[in-house]
Every structure is written in C-alpha cells, then in structure tokens.
Amino acid sequence: MMSHSLHKIMSNKVDTRNERNALRKILDKVSSSSSSIPEQKQAVRELRLLNKQNESFCALVGENPNAISHLGSVLSVPGLNCDLQVQEDTVTMMFNLLIHESNKKIVGDNVEAVALLIEALNSGNMETRSNSATILFNVSTLKAKLSLLVS
C-alpha cells in the first residue's frame, strides 16, 4: 500500500506531465498555420484560463523557451492581429506569468513579447493597456535592478 505523501508526489508528476502535454498541444494550435483562426483564438483563451486557474501552469510556460514567442507571433497572423479579444487574452496571460519571478526575465528578453506589449499600450482596451503597462514596468524594474547589481 502506497503512503499518502508518496501517492501525492507520484500524482503530481503525472499532473505535471499532463500539464506539459496540454501546454504543448495548445502552443501547437496557437502557432500552427494549419489551425483555423477560431482554433487559434480558442487556444489563446484556453492558455489564459489555465494560467489564471493553475499557478504551476505559469511555471511550465516559463520553462518552455518557445512559449512566449508562440504567443507573440499570434498577433502577426492575419485575422488575429486586429482582434482585441486575442490581444487581451495574450497580454493577460503574460500578466499572469509574472507570478513567477523567473518569467519576468523571459518576457522582458523576448523582442516579440515586448513589441506586442507596446502595441497593446497603443491599441488595446483599458484592461489590456493596464496589464501591458504593469508588465513593462515590472520587466524594466527587473532590468534596472540587474544593471545596478552589475555596475
């Protein structure tokens, strides 16, 4: 008979593996040219909801080096690039990622993500602009702290 704590650890590994698989499938939908516009929109929405509901999912996104690039590239797809809901979902998802300190550097170092956030400041709805400004502030604060430590 398995102890409760061992069972919990083993189920966490299974959960993490399932979460990684779910993340990979969603990112594939987001970035695949064979996915339809509605499928891509739904994938971005799913990712936003998973990040909001599951803090460990935020950590997994940060572990995947291509995740932020995939999200940034969504808004360059014709049919999605002018969609304010997709923009809001993408920016809010990035906002939720900042729960994990290590994700700040990942977002801040990603040129596509920063460009997306700047664009959202100019064209997004009020919530999107607010989240975008907060993300950019947090990322710039991190970079300022790093430059102080280096100098």
All domains of the chain, ordered by start, with CATH?
Answer: 4-150 (1.25.10.10)
What Cα–Cα distance (Å) separates residue 53 from each residue in 40, 47, 57, 59, 87? 20, 10, 8, 12, 19
Residue stretches of the chain with pLDDT short of 70: 1-15, 65, 143-151
pLDDT value at residue 150: 54
Treating both helix axes as pointing N-terminal to C-terminal, what angle do 84-97 and 67-74 enclose, rounded to 10 degrees?
A: 160
The predicted structure's pLDDT at residue 146: 55
Residue 1 is predicted with a pLDDT of: 47
Q: Render pLDDT for 35-62 as a digit per residue (tens, 0 to 9).
A: 888 998 998 898 888 888 877 778 888 8
Please tell me whether the overall predicted TM-score, pTM, comes out greater than 0.75 for this model: yes
